[in-house]
């Protein structure tokens, strides 16, 4: 089986906390960066997402 992509929940899984954290303030849990680098070196696409409810209540903003 060839692994093409990994989708990782951002907040509480690869780092952060239970509240909305802006990208500049987000901190990965220990050893996560090394694991992501290993996946990247293997050619695996890494995608992270968040399902924090603050987004649906417009407590966050989008910077493009």
Q: Give the whole-angstrom CA distance, residue 55 versus residue 6.
A: 22
- Closest CA relative to residue 52, chosen from 1, 18, 15: 18
Cα three-residue angle 24-29-34, rounded to 5 degrees: 100
User: Model pTM?
Assistant: 0.68
Q: Please report the pLDDT score of residue 59 as a whole number.
A: 72
- Per-residue pLDDT at 18: 65
What local confidence, expressed as pLDDT, does residue 35 receive? Answer: 94
Does 49 score more than 80 pLDDT? yes
């Amino acid at each position: 089986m060839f692994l093409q992509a990994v989708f990782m929940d951002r907040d509480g899984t690869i780092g952060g906390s239970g509240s909305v954290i802006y990208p500049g303030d987000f901190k990965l849990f220990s050893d996560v960066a090394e694991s992501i680098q290993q996946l990247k070196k293997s050619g695996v696409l890494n995608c992270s997402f968040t399902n924090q409810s603050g987004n649906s209540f417009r407590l966050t903003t989008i910077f493009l």
